[in-house]
Protein backbone atom coordinates (compact mmCIF):
# COMPACT_ATOMS: atom_id res chain seq x y z
CA UNK A 1 0.00 0.00 0.00
CA UNK A 2 2.81 2.42 0.88
CA UNK A 3 4.40 1.89 -2.55
CA UNK A 4 1.18 3.06 -4.25
CA UNK A 5 1.25 6.27 -2.23
CA UNK A 6 4.93 6.90 -3.06
CA UNK A 7 4.42 6.75 -6.83
CA UNK A 8 3.14 9.74 -8.84
CA UNK A 9 -0.60 9.55 -9.32
CA UNK A 10 -2.17 9.90 -12.73
CA UNK A 11 -4.11 13.04 -13.48
CA UNK A 12 -7.32 11.05 -13.79
CA UNK A 13 -6.96 9.93 -10.16
CA UNK A 14 -5.45 13.02 -8.51
CA UNK A 15 -7.63 15.51 -10.42
CA UNK A 16 -10.99 14.10 -9.33
CA UNK A 17 -9.73 13.74 -5.74
CA UNK A 18 -8.78 17.41 -5.69
CA UNK A 19 -12.04 18.28 -7.41
CA UNK A 20 -14.04 16.39 -4.77
CA UNK A 21 -12.65 18.79 -2.18
CA UNK A 22 -15.03 21.47 -3.49
CA UNK A 23 -18.32 19.63 -2.89
CA UNK A 24 -16.98 18.19 0.37
CA UNK A 25 -16.28 21.69 1.72
CA UNK A 26 -19.63 22.99 0.46
CA UNK A 27 -21.63 20.06 1.85
CA UNK A 28 -19.81 19.80 5.18
CA UNK A 29 -19.76 23.46 6.07
CA UNK A 30 -20.75 25.75 3.19
CA UNK A 31 -17.07 26.72 2.83
CA UNK A 32 -15.18 27.85 -0.27
CA UNK A 33 -11.89 26.28 -1.31
CA UNK A 34 -8.97 28.70 -1.56
CA UNK A 35 -5.53 29.07 -0.09
CA UNK A 36 -4.45 32.67 -0.62
CA UNK A 37 -7.08 34.09 1.72
CA UNK A 38 -5.33 32.41 4.64
CA UNK A 39 -2.58 35.05 4.57
CA UNK A 40 -5.24 37.72 5.04
CA UNK A 41 -6.70 35.78 7.98
CA UNK A 42 -3.25 35.47 9.61
CA UNK A 43 -2.61 39.19 9.18
CA UNK A 44 -6.04 40.08 10.57
CA UNK A 45 -5.39 37.86 13.59
CA UNK A 46 -1.78 38.89 14.29
CA UNK A 47 -1.52 42.53 13.21
CA UNK A 48 -3.78 44.77 15.27
CA UNK A 49 -3.62 47.64 12.78
CA UNK A 50 -6.34 50.05 11.88
CA UNK A 51 -6.50 48.87 8.25
CA UNK A 52 -9.98 48.39 6.77
CA UNK A 53 -8.88 45.38 4.72
CA UNK A 54 -8.11 43.48 7.94
CA UNK A 55 -11.22 44.58 9.84
CA UNK A 56 -13.53 41.59 9.62
CA UNK A 57 -14.41 38.58 11.74
CA UNK A 58 -11.43 36.40 10.82
CA UNK A 59 -12.45 33.87 13.49
CA UNK A 60 -15.32 32.75 11.25
CA UNK A 61 -12.65 31.80 8.70
CA UNK A 62 -10.31 30.06 11.19
CA UNK A 63 -11.18 26.71 9.59
CA UNK A 64 -9.17 27.89 6.56
CA UNK A 65 -6.06 28.26 8.71
CA UNK A 66 -6.44 24.67 9.93
CA UNK A 67 -6.97 23.54 6.33
CA UNK A 68 -3.77 25.29 5.17
CA UNK A 69 -1.86 23.98 8.18
CA UNK A 70 -3.04 20.49 7.25
CA UNK A 71 -1.72 20.96 3.72
CA UNK A 72 1.61 22.15 5.14
CA UNK A 73 1.77 19.28 7.62
CA UNK A 74 0.86 16.75 4.92
CA UNK A 75 3.61 18.13 2.69
CA UNK A 76 6.14 17.91 5.50
CA UNK A 77 5.12 14.33 6.29
CA UNK A 78 5.29 13.35 2.61
CA UNK A 79 8.74 14.93 2.24
CA UNK A 80 9.96 13.14 5.35
CA UNK A 81 8.38 9.71 4.99
CA UNK A 82 7.26 9.23 1.40
CA UNK A 83 10.20 10.55 -0.64
CA UNK A 84 11.57 7.98 -3.05
CA UNK A 85 15.38 7.98 -2.83
CA UNK A 86 17.25 9.06 -5.92
CA UNK A 87 16.51 11.57 -8.61
CA UNK A 88 13.10 13.11 -9.23
CA UNK A 89 11.62 11.71 -12.45
CA UNK A 90 11.83 14.36 -15.18
CA UNK A 91 10.96 14.05 -18.86
CA UNK A 92 14.19 13.34 -20.81
CA UNK A 93 13.46 16.15 -23.29
CA UNK A 94 13.05 18.62 -20.43
CA UNK A 95 16.29 17.36 -18.85
CA UNK A 96 18.12 18.05 -22.11
CA UNK A 97 16.65 21.55 -22.34
CA UNK A 98 17.44 22.36 -18.70
CA UNK A 99 21.00 20.99 -19.04
CA UNK A 100 21.63 23.74 -21.59
CA UNK A 101 20.91 26.22 -18.76
CA UNK A 102 23.16 24.39 -16.29
CA UNK A 103 20.36 22.67 -14.37
CA UNK A 104 21.36 19.07 -13.84
CA UNK A 105 20.61 18.24 -10.18
CA UNK A 106 17.29 16.45 -9.70
CA UNK A 107 17.92 15.18 -6.19
CA UNK A 108 15.46 17.67 -4.64
CA UNK A 109 11.96 18.83 -5.48
CA UNK A 110 13.41 22.12 -6.77
CA UNK A 111 16.73 22.24 -8.64
CA UNK A 112 19.49 23.42 -6.31
CA UNK A 113 21.01 25.43 -9.17
CA UNK A 114 17.92 27.67 -9.09
CA UNK A 115 16.84 27.84 -5.45
CA UNK A 116 19.62 28.25 -2.88
CA UNK A 117 20.82 30.96 -0.51
CA UNK A 118 23.89 31.84 -2.59
CA UNK A 119 21.78 32.20 -5.72
CA UNK A 120 19.45 34.60 -3.91
CA UNK A 121 22.25 37.17 -3.86
CA UNK A 122 22.63 37.12 -7.66
CA UNK A 123 20.53 39.04 -10.18
CA UNK A 124 19.06 35.83 -11.62
CA UNK A 125 18.25 34.47 -8.17
CA UNK A 126 16.75 37.75 -7.00
CA UNK A 127 14.55 37.98 -10.10
CA UNK A 128 13.35 34.38 -9.94
CA UNK A 129 12.76 34.20 -6.19
CA UNK A 130 11.95 37.71 -4.90
CA UNK A 131 10.53 39.50 -7.93
CA UNK A 132 8.75 36.33 -9.09
CA UNK A 133 7.28 35.79 -5.63
CA UNK A 134 6.11 39.39 -5.46
CA UNK A 135 4.47 39.14 -8.88
CA UNK A 136 2.68 35.93 -7.89
CA UNK A 137 1.43 37.57 -4.68
CA UNK A 138 0.40 40.75 -6.49
CA UNK A 139 -1.36 38.76 -9.20
CA UNK A 140 -3.18 36.69 -6.62
CA UNK A 141 -4.45 39.78 -4.84
CA UNK A 142 -5.29 41.59 -8.09
CA UNK A 143 -7.23 38.56 -9.40
CA UNK A 144 -9.09 38.20 -6.11
CA UNK A 145 -7.73 34.72 -5.45
CA UNK A 146 -5.12 32.15 -6.33
CA UNK A 147 -5.08 29.50 -9.03
CA UNK A 148 -6.63 26.89 -6.75
CA UNK A 149 -9.43 29.19 -5.67
CA UNK A 150 -10.31 30.29 -9.19
CA UNK A 151 -9.55 27.15 -11.21
CA UNK A 152 -10.99 24.64 -8.75
CA UNK A 153 -13.65 26.48 -6.77
CA UNK A 154 -14.60 29.30 -9.13
CA UNK A 155 -14.90 27.20 -12.27
CA UNK A 156 -16.92 24.53 -10.47
CA UNK A 157 -19.35 27.29 -9.47
CA UNK A 158 -19.43 28.56 -13.08
CA UNK A 159 -18.10 32.00 -12.12
CA UNK A 160 -17.20 34.16 -15.13
CA UNK A 161 -14.39 36.07 -13.31
CA UNK A 162 -12.78 32.75 -12.38
CA UNK A 163 -12.80 31.65 -16.02
CA UNK A 164 -11.09 34.90 -17.03
CA UNK A 165 -8.58 34.58 -14.17
CA UNK A 166 -7.81 30.93 -14.99
CA UNK A 167 -7.28 31.70 -18.68
CA UNK A 168 -5.02 34.59 -17.67
CA UNK A 169 -3.03 32.33 -15.31
CA UNK A 170 -2.56 29.76 -18.06
CA UNK A 171 -1.56 32.29 -20.72
CA UNK A 172 0.81 34.02 -18.29
CA UNK A 173 2.37 30.71 -17.28
CA UNK A 174 2.83 29.71 -20.92
CA UNK A 175 4.46 33.03 -21.79
CA UNK A 176 6.79 32.99 -18.80
CA UNK A 177 7.79 29.33 -19.22
CA UNK A 178 8.44 29.60 -22.94
CA UNK A 179 9.71 33.15 -23.44
CA UNK A 180 10.78 34.87 -20.21
CA UNK A 181 12.26 32.01 -18.16
CA UNK A 182 14.66 30.92 -20.93
CA UNK A 183 16.01 34.49 -21.07
CA UNK A 184 16.46 34.58 -17.28
CA UNK A 185 18.09 31.14 -17.16
CA UNK A 186 20.51 31.92 -20.00
CA UNK A 187 22.02 34.84 -18.05
What are the tens digits of pLDDT across the range 70-122? 999 998 998 888 877 788 888 899 999 999 988 898 888 788 888 888 888 88
Q: Are 36 and 140 in contact (CB under 8 A)?
A: yes
Q: DSSP per residue over 6-64, as a string?
A: HSPPPHHHHHHHHHTHHHHHHHHHS----STHHHHHHHHHH-----GGG-S-GGGGHHH
> For residue range 5-44, what is the model confidence (pLDDT) as tens digits?
777 788 899 889 888 888 888 888 888 878 888 888 888 8
Amino acid sequence: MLEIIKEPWSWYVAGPLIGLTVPALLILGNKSFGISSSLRHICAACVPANINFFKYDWKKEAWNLFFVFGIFLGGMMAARFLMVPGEIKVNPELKTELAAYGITDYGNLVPVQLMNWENLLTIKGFVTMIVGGFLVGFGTRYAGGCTSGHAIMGLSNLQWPSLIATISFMVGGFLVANFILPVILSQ
